[in-house]
């Protein structure tokens, strides 16, 4: 697909997340994603075109190629959400259920998966790092990566990206198809060439020209109308699985777009334009491809965002729980000091009394030694030790009393802190209760 097609598909995905009826579980998050996105949409053309203009990884990461195989292998076609038209067309395809061969050297699905994960990671880093941290990613950067991801997802819906037949001869039917699409986008919306972005309508989406192509009208209409299915499909658990399923049905669509009776090396633009496949079905199939591409981009984006938001909610709750547990510990400690004080004081006072007696006795022994003119060195040493011991024990007793007074005076405050921490935890738990639906399929 070409530059404006990619950018437009990304904008339509954003619009779908805003306009479609999103399931209750993800509704708030979808709203928050759109609010976030609206600040960064100006990068949509450069971002969604970055893989072609800068990365140039077309020969490995923009494709995943299948061909029919006459071997014995049992084909395993994925079960996709029923609202996907590519899937519905695929189920009725001649090649559905027949063995296929998948070339191993391409990694479009891996690219989509790794981009999705890195988006989530970037948001986590953005959340955890302090403002001004040298390693913090900017929102602009993350938005760029959303648009870059949309490119790979969209490419998977271009049937010829999933078809091992090569149409890249001098006539290049692949480019011919993509040129038709891109021209239609450019003729349906106002593009701000000077700033490499779309002109926007009051809602912030590409501004429509008075005479739009039927294809674009269809997609605009469909993105509001089509039911938004949150699940990836049966047996699909993540971006990789889902994209792998898309690539299978995109491969089946390739054989509708250019049926098997065409010889790939012979087909010219002229021949293709005059073929029944083109004349009768090209725009019908284009609608399927575009509407589903918008659907898939919206789905992968929203899943990534919701996973980040779930992590964020979990992190917040863990923080409040840690506060509660620290407050509980402080209160228990103060209570223990207060409870232990009477017996501690008694023990400690008795020790002081004994030490006082000892000092008295040592003092008497010393005095007597001096009076009798004997060597008083040992008695002096014993008296010194007894005095030191008395000082130590007296200080300990004073410390015990100070600790007790401190505990008594802080008790009410510590109780209040614990109550406040408990309230915070309860409030957070209530807030995220609706996100704890185990059947949400995230
Ligand atoms: Zn591409």
Tens digit of pLDDT for each residue in 138-148? 999 999 999 99
Are 226 and 20 contacting, i.e. CB atoms less than 8 angstroms apart? yes
How many whole angstroms from 1 Cα to the centroid of ligand 1?
A: 6
Report d(CA 42, CA 144) in Å as an integer.
Answer: 10
How many Å lie between the centroid of ligand 1 and the Cα of residue 359? 93
Beta bridge partners of 67: 101
Q: How far is the CA of 74 from the centre of ligand 1 (A)?
A: 30
Q: What is the pLDDT of residues 41-64, one digit of tens each?
A: 988 999 999 999 999 988 888 999
pLDDT at position 67 is 92
Angle formed at CA 303 by CA 25 and CA 133, multiple of 5 degrees: 110
Label residue 232 by pLDDT band (50, 70, 90): very high
Ligand 1: distance of its center to the CA of 156 in Å?
Answer: 9
**Which tokens belong to 208?**
């429509």
pLDDT tens for 377-418 read 999 999 999 999 999 999 999 999 999 999 999 999 999 999
Residues 6 or more apart whose Cβ sits within 8 Å of residue 334: 407, 410, 411, 414
> How would you label 361-386 residue by residue, b for 16+ Cβ within 10 Å and e otherwise?
ebeebbeebeeeeeebeebeebbeeb
User: Which pLDDT score is estimated for 317?
Assistant: 94
Q: How far is the CA of 53 from the centre of ligand 1 (A)?
A: 9
Q: How far apart are the first and last CA of the chain?
A: 30
187 CA from centroid of ligand 1 (Å): 21
Give the distance (Å) from ligand 1 centre to CA of residue 52.
Answer: 6
Ligand 1 center to 381 CA (angstroms) = 92
Q: Is the pLDDT of residue 436 over 90?
A: no
> In this predicted structure, what is the pLDDT of residue 441?
47
Find the 331 Cα to ligand 1 centroid distance in Å.
61
Distance 141 CA to ligand 1 centre (A): 20
For 91, counting Cβ atoms within 10 Å of its Cβ (0-12 exposed, 13-18 middle, 19+ buried), the class is: middle
Question: What integer pLDDT is reported at residue 442 of this predicted model?
Answer: 45
Please say whether the beta carbons of 171 and 267 come within 8 A.
Answer: yes
Indicate whether 20 pLDDT > 60. yes
Q: Give the list of residues 6+ apart from residue 20 with CB closer than 8 angstroms, or none.
A: 223, 224, 226, 227, 228, 298
Query: What is the pLDDT averaged over residues 63-72?
Result: 88
Residue 440 pLDDT greater than 60, yes or no: no
Q: What share of the chain is helix, strand, coil (3-state, %, to 5)?
A: 70, 5, 25
Averaged pLDDT for residues 254-260 = 94
With left for phi above 0 and alpha for psi between -120 and 50, is residue 67 left, alpha or beta?
Answer: beta
Percentage of residues of the chain with pLDDT beyond 90: 83
Mean pLDDT of 92-106: 92
Contact residues for 191 (Cβ-Cβ < 8 A; gap 6+): 4, 197, 198, 199
Out of 26-40, 158-172, 309-323, least confident range: 158-172
Tell me what the mean pLDDT of segment 124-131 comes to: 93
Helices and strands of the chain, counted as H and E runs: 14, 4
Cβ-based burial of 441 (10 A; exposed 0-12, middle 13-18, buried ≥19) = middle
- What is the spatial distance between Cα 215 and Cα 288, in angstroms, rounded to a whole number? 10
Tell how far the Cα of 15 is from the centroid of ligand 1, in angstroms.
22
Handedness of CA 230, 235, 241, 245 (dihedral sign): negative
Closest CA to 250 of 216, 302, 293: 293
Centre of ligand 1 to C-alpha 230, Å, is 26
Q: Which helix (H) or strand (E) holds 66?
A: strand 66-68
Residue 231 has what pLDDT?
A: 93
For residue 267, pLDDT over 50 is answered with: yes
Band (pLDDT 50/70/90 cuts) for residue 172 is confident
What is the per-residue burial (b if ≥16 Cβ within 10 Å, else e) of 228-250? Answer: bbbbbbeebebbbbbbbbbbbbb
Average pLDDT, the chain: 93
| pLDDT, average across residues 84-111 | 94
Q: Ligand 1 centroid to 119 CA: how many Å?
A: 19
Q: Hey, what are 141's tokens? A: 């950067």
Q: How far is the CA of 300 from the centre of ligand 1 (A)?
A: 17
For the chain, what's the residue count? 442
Two structure tokens written together for 231: 């699940």
Of 229-233, 262-266, 418-422, 429-433, give the lowest mean pLDDT range. Answer: 262-266
């Amino acid at each position: 697909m070409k530059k404006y097609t990619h950018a437009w598909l990304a904008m339509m995905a954003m619009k779908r997340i805003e306009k479609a009826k999103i399931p209750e579980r993800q509704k708030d998050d979808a709203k928050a994603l759109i609010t976030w996105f609206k600040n960064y949409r100006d990068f949509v053309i450069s971002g969604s075109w970055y893989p072609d203009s800068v990365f140039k990884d077309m020969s490995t990461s923009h494709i995943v190629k299948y061909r029919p195989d006459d071997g014995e292998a049992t084909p395993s076609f994925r079960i996709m959400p029923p609202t996907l038209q590519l899937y519905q067309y695929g189920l009725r395809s001649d090649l559905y259920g027949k063995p296929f061969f998948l070339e191993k050297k391409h990694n479009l699905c891996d690219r989509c998966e790794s981009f999705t994960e890195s988006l989530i990671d970037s948001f986590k880093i953005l959340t955890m790092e302090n403002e001004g941290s040298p390693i913090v990613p900017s929102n602009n950067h993350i938005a760029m990566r959303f648009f870059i991801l949309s490119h790979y997802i969209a490419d998977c819906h271009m049937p010829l990206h999933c078809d091992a037949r090569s149409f890249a001869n001098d006539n290049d039917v692949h480019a011919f198809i993509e040129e038709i699409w891109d021209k239609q986008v450019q003729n349906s919306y106002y593009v701000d060439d000077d700033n490499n972005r779309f002109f926007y309508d009051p809602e912030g989406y590409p501004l429509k020209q008075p005479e739009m192509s039927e294809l674009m009208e269809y997609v605009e209409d469909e993105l509001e109308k089509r039911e938004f299915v949150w699940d990836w499909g049966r047996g699909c658990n993540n971006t990789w699985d889902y994209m792998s399923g898309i690539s299978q049905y995109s491969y089946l669509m390739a054989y509708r777009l250019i049926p098997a009776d065409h010889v790939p090396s012979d087909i010219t633009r002229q021949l293709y334009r005059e073929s029944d496949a083109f004349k009768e079905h090209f725009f019908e199939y284009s609608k399927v491809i575009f509407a589903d591409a918008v659907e898939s981009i919206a789905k992968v984006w929203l899943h990534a965002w919701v996973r980040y938001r779930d992590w964020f909610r979990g992190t917040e709750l863990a923080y409040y729980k840690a506060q509660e547990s620290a407050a509980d510990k402080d209160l228990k400690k103060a209570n223990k000091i207060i409870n232990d004080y009477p017996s501690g004081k008694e023990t400690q006072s008795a020790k002081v009394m004994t030490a006082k007696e000892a000092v008295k006795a040592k003092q008497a022994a010393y005095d007597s030694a001096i009076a009798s003119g004997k060597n008083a060195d040992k008695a002096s040493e014993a008296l010194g030790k007894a005095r030191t011991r008395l000082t130590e024990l007296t200080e300990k007793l004073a410390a015990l009393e100070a600790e007790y007074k401190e505990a008594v005076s802080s008790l009410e405050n510590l109780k209040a802190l614990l109550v406040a921490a408990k309230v915070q935890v309860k409030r957070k738990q209530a807030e995220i209760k609706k996100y704890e639906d185990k059947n949400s399929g995230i």
